[in-house]
Structure formats: structure tokens, C-alpha cells
Amino acid sequence: MDFTYPKSEKLKSKKIIDLLFSEGKSVGKYPLRLVYVQHDFEENVPVKMGVSVSKKYFKKAVDRNYLKRVLRECYRLNKSLLTEHLEKKYCVMFFYQTNEKLSYQEIEEKTKLLFEKFIKTIHQENNSNLE
């Protein structure tokens, strides 16, 4: 298992982020939401991930940065759930959407549930495209 989050996996491209918001599909598990789009990029990684915490819910940058660090850490430790089950390459944006400050354990638990829901959704989409 690879517990890293290298630069090649970080979602930085403005074009791809715009594509996520215009054509991306969404799956949620309160208080987290995952917006994704299937995209072929040059890097040899299965997923490009970005995180976001709304200024609407957390006015202080300190709080937003803390939650972004927690989201990245949850992704880093649980990304094997995603990479083992994906056949195509995806760009994903990970959102924290509540004004409650949940504990690390709660966020990690929700992250695992969200990743499982995402994998089910992807498999359903792929199966419906085959029919």
C-alpha cells in the first residue's frame, strides 16, 4: 500500500477544476461531497485530488487550513480504497460542507463511507454504459 500524496496527484489545473464544476458529477455523505469527472491526463496516477473548505462556513483561514489538512490526510490514508477499484483516471474535488467542526475520527469515517459510495456509483455508471 502506498500512503503518499505526491505532487502528481494534486489537482492544480484551472481547466480541469472548471471542467469539474461544469460537467462533474457529485456524490455526498454528509458533511463531505465528492465532485468527479473522468479525464485522461499525462501523469501515471489513477486519481488527481483537490480539497476545498468554504469560506462561507469557516471565516478564519486557520480553521479552513486545518480542515483541508485533515481532508488531505484522510485521502492519503484511504486512497487505496479508490485506486484498487478504478479502471479509468478521474479528477476529484473533495468538499467539506458544514459549519460544524467534526473530529478527525468522524471525518475519516465519513471519508471511507464516501469513497465506498463513489466506487459503487462509478461501477453502476460503467455497467449502465455497457448495456
Q: How confident is the prediction along the chain (131 residues), in pLDDT tens digits per residue?
A: 678 899 999 999 999 999 999 999 999 999 999 999 998 888 888 899 999 999 999 999 999 999 999 999 999 999 998 888 888 899 999 999 999 999 999 999 999 999 999 999 998 988 887 76
Exposure class string for 89-113: b at 16+ Cβ within 10 A, else e:
ebbbbbbbeeeeebeeeebbebbee
Containing 50, the helix (H) or strand (E) segment is strand 47-53
Domains and CATH numbers, the chain: 8-126 (3.30.230.10)
CA distance 58 to 74: 20
The answer to whether 102 and 11 have CB atoms below 8 angstroms apart is no
Task: Please give the grid coordinates belonging to residue 42.
Answer: 499525462
What is the pLDDT at residue 127?
A: 83
